[in-house]
Amino acid sequence: MFNIITRKTLLEYAKRYPIAANALFEWYHELSKSEFANFNELKAIYANASLVGDSRVVFNVMGNHFRLVVRISFEYKAIQVKWFGTHKEYDKIDVTTVQFKIK
């Protein structure tokens, strides 16, 4: 099972984007119970997930209306939420360096 660091970050994004809150919580519960050994195993279940460097993975959320950027350590079974936003906002960030920031 994966440890998702931190749940508080997801709650903050759920407040910012209430229309996507249920999808974020669903993602959280699915991934926290998952047992992936590597990206290929994750990709077999989440076909739209993309590996973008620095162990970062991008998930499409709500039919690609939103994007979720996380850093995954398969060895330590840890996922760190880096960024969440609309597809349009995603096009304006550097996915390899973006960090969670409280507005």
In a domain, 95, yes or no: no
Q: Which pLDDT score, from 0 to 100, does residue 103 have?
A: 62
Query: Would the pLDDT of 99 be above 90?
Result: no
In a domain, 97, yes or no: no
Structural domain span for residue 46: 3-90
| Count of structural domains within the chain | 1
Strand ranges (DSSP E) for the chain?
3-5, 50-53, 56-61, 66-73, 78-86
> What amino acid is encoded at 1 in this protein?
M
Q: Which pLDDT score, from 0 to 100, does residue 50 have?
A: 96
Mean of pLDDT values over 63-79 = 95
In a domain, 48, yes or no: yes
pTM above 0.85, yes or no: yes
